[in-house]
Amino acid sequence: MKALAVFVVLLGVIAMYATQAPFGQSDESAQSVATNYVIYRNAAIMCAVNTPAITVSLTPSMLGLPSDWRALRNWKNRIEGNTLYVYGEATAQEVVVIENILKGSFAVGVNQHNRLVTAHGTGVTLPAFIPEGNVTTVISVR
């Protein structure tokens, strides 16, 4: 009988540890970073479309972001020709949330070997200044 009691206690301990969240990023954290990227991305797109004289990159002060907005990552942008690239580091989980927020847009994905890999496959060739593995948005602005 004692053995059975010990066995039940051990099963209870195992069950408690098995139901704990695994180490890693929480859904809320991924959602926050993804939303932060989308806000930055949208501001960069609006600024690039409305300010055609800009030819290299948009400074944070030009983007017209809300005064209380703070970048959760080092988001970057660059205009090459008629194309705006918005990019930065993001985890795989954050990329999935970004893609979900943007409804599976063909314009957002991850830089893999200088190719934009989206939920729909491999597409646009990316310039070398975008680091490997960065979440990237590619938009024609002119």
* Structural tokens at position 54: 């800009």
Residue 88 has pLDDT above 90, yes or no: yes
What local confidence, expressed as pLDDT, does residue 26 receive? 75
Confidence of residue 10 (pLDDT cuts 50, 70, 90): low
In this structure, are residues 104 and 120 in contact, taking their beta carbons and an 8 Å threshold?
yes
Residue 8 has pLDDT above 50, yes or no: no
Tally of CB atoms within 10 A around 11: 10
27-140 under CATH 3.20.20.70, yes or no:
no
* Structural tokens at position 84: 């705006």
Residue 142 has pLDDT above 50, yes or no: yes
Region of poorest pLDDT, from 26-30, 75-79, 123-127: 26-30
When pLDDT is averaged across residues 107-117 and rounded to a whole number, the result is: 95
- The domain ranges of the chain are 27-140
Q: What is the pLDDT of residues 35-63, one digit of tens each?
A: 999 999 999 999 999 987 777 899 888 99
Q: What are phi and psi of 104, to 5 degrees?
A: 70, 30
> Shortest CA distance to 84 belongs to which of 63, 56, 111?
56
State the helix-helix crossing angle for 27-50 and 92-101, rounded to 10 degrees.
60
When pLDDT is averaged across residues 16-38 and rounded to a whole number, the result is: 74
